[in-house]
Homo-oligomer: A and B are copies of this chain.
């Protein structure tokens, strides 16, 4: 489903709008298929076990699951004429047609005319059992059904059991359409890149690649005998700090003739400090840049050069962190963290619209039952996982994803529900990490309001998804649980004197501590009435007394809340100062944490280590999301952009233009103080804007709303030019 859609988007990107064709074209295209989630989990294990700390292996601290080793694939066909099919499998396998075993492990077999069932059973302990089947009309794709227990026993007479106890799911797939390209052969792409600057000294070379990058280092003309060490640095300071840099590679050289040598494992760096023994010599250094071939469909340009630079650095940050999965940061963990990934999903919808990476990340994060801890062990990260599925459906309209995920959603929600305290709230139990944010002195004690808010949103997500898969009883139950919890949240935490939600309840008593977290989420969750919204804005968001947020991670939501309240001008200034601040310090990608109060190399320290901080962290790229959703102003109103809103907000800019990808085509917006140009995608859009004068449009019908607002419908694929006069004068130069 996802893949078909993707093909479809590509077609659209190429300017082909013959939508009904797309489905038909995909019909006979065979692709490698597997048990849903299994390739994702397997690949996730590979990637997440690549972390090293100063040469030592540094794996995750949560449970890593595995693929099912024995899978049955089947599909029923009704053939007009007999058909020979070609079969490839990863693993040991057998083939049955109509329940009858074909001798050996055939690479080709014939299916006769008429109605027939093909079953293929594959065993693979090391890699994910997968198949590729292709005939004239028969093709392996995600319409095949799969199970890990077919329960197909026979009685003493040879009669087969009924299999009514077997659960069949739709096969998982991606874009492995080449029969030779089995899933286990998947690798990211690499391309050679040259160093920007080299400082060579006897027995050492410090190489600067010009900006944050990722890949394998190539040593050219390596010769001699002795040790060579590569000290990596996201900063020059780090590369030079041979005792404290976070990553390194030690190589034993024994090379009588000059040769080229590439490091074994890809790493993050801008600088590489190479030191070697006297007996070793080295001509030059280059690298293989490693990346995921995602298409940058989202675009943004405006009259403010600093903001353009911020967009560029953000999208490069996002590019580096979009790999096999959406990861947190390229230097250190290279793990999949649900809270970090949640932001990447949202940015992705405004940059790549690469749904397979979203779905892969969701599957890998979720792993398998039984659930023995929160996702990444973090309570909030469990909730972000649910929210990620809600957003995936809203942006992509991909019901199949929800369908495949729903059983895993149910069991994860059961896990949460079983961990509520006697008041029905979630608080940290043994082994639970209540994270919220990296912030000094932030209390995690008792029932934290932020966690209840996310829990409530997760229950709402369950209700939505239950409806999508026709689990009516489930939907009603989750809806009621959500409504009850929401009522309890406001009864417990809303403090009339503070005009805000307080941070927590400890020992049955609400604290008087006000933090930004729950308050800002309550705004874009739509949990507040208008008076409360204004209160929160004034007494929390714009109140310097409330502790500041220092991570781009929570800045994401803080600025989103302000944008949701029309504070684009304010947010623009904040973006310029905060992200612009990092750029001013020489950042070529955005950081895990940024405190403008710090100086020099202080910026690089975290976790008690001088270079512990990641200088290329996915959550640093949030301007992509803010600019696409709240400045270009594009967002889906119904699932998959069937209907959508375009509500441009210059926020003080003179001019902006950009592209927002959707499942079927791009939406382009261009806007200055006098003119708005919009080109719609496949769904039906609504352009909404404010104007000092009565606006006009060629081809479009403009409707006046109260308060100087106007609306115009955008027909699928059509382009419009609106002449208007922007309400506010620009505030940013």
- A residues touching B (Cβ–Cβ < 8 Å)? 42, 45-46, 49, 53-70, 92-94, 101-105, 121, 123, 125-126, 148-159, 161-167, 250, 369-370, 372-373, 377, 411, 429-433, 438, 440, 593, 606-609, 612
- Chain B residues, CB < 8 A from A164: 430-431
Q: Are B373 and A370 neighbours in the complex by a CB distance under 8 Å?
A: no
Q: Is A149 touching B373 in the complex (CB atoms < 8 A)?
A: yes
**When the two chains form the complex, which single residue of B49, B56, B64, B373 contacts A103, counting CB atoms closer than 8 Å?**
B56
Q: Do residues A63 and B149 form an inter-chain contact, with CB atoms below 8 A?
A: yes
B64 x A158 contact (CB < 8 A): no
Interfacial chain B residues near A162, Cβ < 8 Å: 430
Residues of B within 8 A of A45 (CB): 69-70, 123, 125
A-B contact pairs, 16 of them (CB 8 A): A49-B70, A54-B103, A56-B94, A56-B101, A56-B104, A57-B94, A58-B94, A61-B149, A61-B153, A125-B126, A151-B433, A153-B433, A156-B606, A158-B608, A163-B431, A165-B373
Option from B58, B69, B150 in Cβ contact (under 8 Å) with A61: B150
Complex formed: what's the CA distance from A63 to B59 in Å?
28
Distance between Cα atoms of A607 and B153 in the complex (Å)? 11
What separation, in Å, do the CA atoms of A125 and B47 have in the docked complex?
12
Determine if B126 and A93 form an interchain contact, defined as CB atoms under 8 angstroms apart.
no
Question: In angstroms, how far is the closest chain B Cβ from the Cβ of A499?
Answer: 30
Residues of B within 8 A of A167 (CB): 372
Residues of B within 8 A of A42 (CB): 125
* CB-based contact B63/A148 at 8 Å: yes
Residues of B within 8 A of A69 (CB): 45, 64-66
Interchain CB contact under 8 A, A608 and B157: yes
Contact A372 B149 (CB under 8 A): yes
Known contacts A94-B56, A123-B57, A373-B165; decide if A607 and B157 are in contact (CB<8 Å).
Answer: yes
**Could you tell me if B607 and A158 are in contact, using CB atoms closer than 8 angstroms?**
yes
Min C-beta distance of A679 to chain B, whole Å: 45
Q: A430-B165, A433-B153 are in contact. Are A55 and B104 (CB under 8 A)?
A: yes
Task: Report chain B residues within 8 Å CB of A57.
Answer: 92-94, 105, 121, 123
What CA separation (Å) do A563 and B111 show in the bound complex?
57
A123, B432: Cβ atoms under 8 Å? no
A16 and B68 alpha carbons, distance in the complex (Å): 47
B70, B377, B432, B438: the one within 8 Å of A149 (CB): B377
Closest residue of B by beta carbon distance from A123: B49
Using CB atoms, name the residue of chain B closest to A608.
B158
Among A67, A103, A125, A411, the one with the most B-chain Cβ atoms within 10 Å of its Cβ is: A125
Residues in B with CB closer than 8 Å to A62 are: 149, 151
Report yes or no: B433 in contact with A161, Cβ–Cβ below 8 A.
Answer: yes
**Chain B: CB-nearest residue to A613:** B156
Select which of B46, B70, B377, B607 is within 8 A of A60 by beta carbon.
B70
CA distance A430 to B163 in the complex (A): 8
Q: How far is the CA of A671 from the CA of B57 in the complex (A)?
A: 65
Instruction: Assess the A607–B370 pair: CB atoms within 8 A.
Output: no
B49 contacts A92, C-beta separation under 8 Å: yes
Which of B61, B149, B370, B433 has a CB less than 8 Å from the CB of A369? B370
